Structure 1
Amino acid sequence: MNMQNDLLTASKIRELANGFQVSRIILTAVELGIFSLLDKHLVSSAEVAKQIGADARATDRLLNALVSLGLLNKVHEKFYNTDAASSYLVKNKPEFMGGLFHTNELWKSWGTLTNAVKVGTSVYESEKSEGDWTESFIAAMHYRAAKEAKILAMMLNLNSAKKMLDIGGGSGAFSMGMIENNPALKAIVFDLPDVTPLTKKYVESFSHKENISYVEGNYLTDEFGDGYDLVLLSAIVHINSYEQNKILISKCYNSLNIGGQIVIKDWVMSDARIEPFGGALFALNMLVGTECGDTYTEKEMREWLSNAGITKVEKKNTSYGWSLIIGTKN
């Protein structure tokens, strides 16, 4: 998506500005558990309202809007899920988009964008407990990572890798994906103390769970150890400032064996910072949600690696928007 290539009529601008309405309808339905309630059932709006503890008229109007969006069907004043809603919006289904609970949190933080632009950093204070936020965030990241991990593993040469460090590894999805590609690989998932219990839950059912171990700490202040053949930074550098990343990459370099690789998986911006489109939006997501996060250009990432002592760097594009910057220690 690139608005620069579109003819922006007044009607199109109005459509873009009003896009929040559709987003809010979907997020409210997910938040209220409507799709899970309607799974394999034909239910009136009055009964839905009763079960979710909401106003009957207001619930009816919400369900009607979901019909207009193609997420519900309506027959004889009763509602049921479309195939898409049944597949992706019902809890405990394999393809459930649980990450939308995190998107609901982003709705709140993005509402502070005007003030964040004025002061230059996040002004958002979450209403939810830290534990709830962390769990919904990890769930959102896992939903994406589980699909991306297999692709990433195929894009890297893991044949000779024996030990990897997964910094800020969250659910451990990428470690699991790498190990599936190379069962001889041992992975250390490095993350904060409140994340590690969640990681262990995701890894528990993994067929090679004995290949994964855990280290708790802060990647900006704590040491990583050494002897790694691969250090993965998936969706990490955008959380930090330029200078913090400079320090982080140097720490990663010091932990690598000769011939080992640092893999940065993130938005890689053009020098003008307007492409890719998703990265331009994500820079604002970091503005409203972090103290100093941002998206970075390929030039900036190469500067971090060069500063650490790496001269062999390559970029690989992916099919899901983000790119890989791979630095090899000589």
Structure 2
Amino acid sequence: MNGTPDRDASPEDRILAMARAFQASRVLLTAHELDVFTLLSRGAKSAGDVARQAATDERAMDRLLGALCALGFLEKKNGLFANTPESERFLSRDSEEYLAGLAHMSQQFRSWASLTQAVRQGTKADPGPIDSDDGQRTRDFIAAMHGRAKGNAANLARLIGLDGVRRILDVGGGSGVYAMALVREAREATAVVLDLPKVALLARQYLREAGMQEKIAVVPGDYHQADFGSGFDLIVFSAVLHINSAQENLALAHKAFAALNPAGRVAIEDFVMDEDRTGPARGALFALNMLVSTTRGDTYTEAEIFGWLRRAGFTDLVRKQTGPGSSLIVGRKPS
């Protein structure tokens, strides 16, 4: 796909290419919002046909489709537009490999437009997907998180190591995707997913579709306020710490410690920043994503996360790389 800065270009051209990179992103997201790729998955069409089915202006749609061809998302032959194999695979809602997270990215695009204001005032200007009363935003957000986690969840379960694990608590567990992977890996285990009531409703749906509702319970509640209970062998925080302030994360570490059995473990999967906070790039950009979409969220360093865990009483802290900029951190409650 085109639209990214060329490393062989001059410094001026690289800067300008990055400054206008939003154009290619906006073209893709607009096409997704108008269901262009899904419409074309049912056969090649003229710009007029796509415009009528998408309820848009024909000339404007023709220009959008032309830009999509230029960017490598579509092909044009004999006046008809068609998906490329890659677009058919990942961008059509009819595909099993459809990237459901694009709907959430459309919302992020709007939130990022307020970055200047957020930097000036130190907090977001727009409610985030979970804070919002818009149920569709919540569904889009959870679908995005589920899609991103599917490939990583099984690997995370293996990295944690689940020998002897019987009871698992997945805090802020979203769709339950990590709880499902953990229970599949530790076949004798059961799990509890704790998340906000409107997210819990969606989690139950995902669990029913996966046939996992008998082994995984869903508890609605705000993890800052809810009682974690007791008797757990493993407590998981996946993509949770970055939503919260440092003080809130310290409090969560204490709550996890109290809810674990002796020798139980806490597992944290998240972006982990270099100590000078200048990298990795994905984590640095995600810190700004938290600025425009949460009131207190941030990305944190290993020293910060280890510090919370040690203050809560955890020992034997280890960190393993799980992806670009992200890591798994595991700590143990003494026996």
Please give the TM-score of this superposition, normalised by the length of structure 2. 0.94
Q: Match of 1:263?
A: 267
Quote the offset at 1:319 in angstroms.
3.2
1:105 equivalent in alignment to 2:107: yes
Q: 1:252 aligns with which of 249, 256, 266?
A: 256
SS in 1 for 2:289: helix
SS in 2 for 1:209: coil
Q: Match of 2:91?
A: 89
SS in 2 for 1:24: helix
Q: Match of 1:318?
A: 322
Distance 1:196 1:114, change over 3 A: same
Instruction: Describe the superposition over 1:213-240 as per-residue Cα deviations: whole angstroms up to 9, x where unpaired.
Output: 0111111111110101111000000000
Give the Cα separation in 2 of the matches to 1:6 and 1:44.
37
1:199 equivalent in alignment to 2:203: yes
Q: Match of 1:243?
A: 247
Instruction: Describe the superposition over 1:257-276 as per-residue Cα deviations: whole angstroms up to 9, x where unpaired.
Output: 11111111000001111111
Is the contact made by 1:268 and 1:297 (CA closer than 8 Å) also made in structure 2?
Answer: yes
Unaligned runs of 5+ in 1: none
1:172 equivalent in alignment to 2:176: yes
Q: Match of 2:194?
A: 190
Where do 1:36-51 residues align within 5 Å? 36-51=38-53
What is the identity, as a one-letter code, of the residue corresponding to 1:135?
Answer: R
1:301 equivalent in alignment to 2:288: no
Which piece of structure 1 moves more, 70-79 or 206-215? 206-215
Instruction: State the superposition RMSD in angstroms.
Output: 1.7
SS in 2 for 1:202: helix
Q: 1:11 aligns with which of 7, 10, 13?
A: 13
Give the Cα separation in 1 of the matches to 2:79 and 2:119.
46
Please give the TM-score of this superposition, normalised by the length of structure 1. 0.96
Identity of paired residues, percent?
42
Give the Cα separation in 2 of the matches to 1:83 and 1:111.
32
SS in 2 for 1:171: coil
Quote the offset at 1:207 in angstroms.
4.1
User: How many residues get paired?
Assistant: 327
Q: Match of 1:79?
A: 81
Give the Cα separation in 2 of the matches to 1:166 and 1:310.
18
Unaligned runs of 5+ in 2: none
Distance 1:150 1:314, change over 3 A: same
What is the identity, as a one-letter code, of the residue corresponding to 1:271?
Answer: E
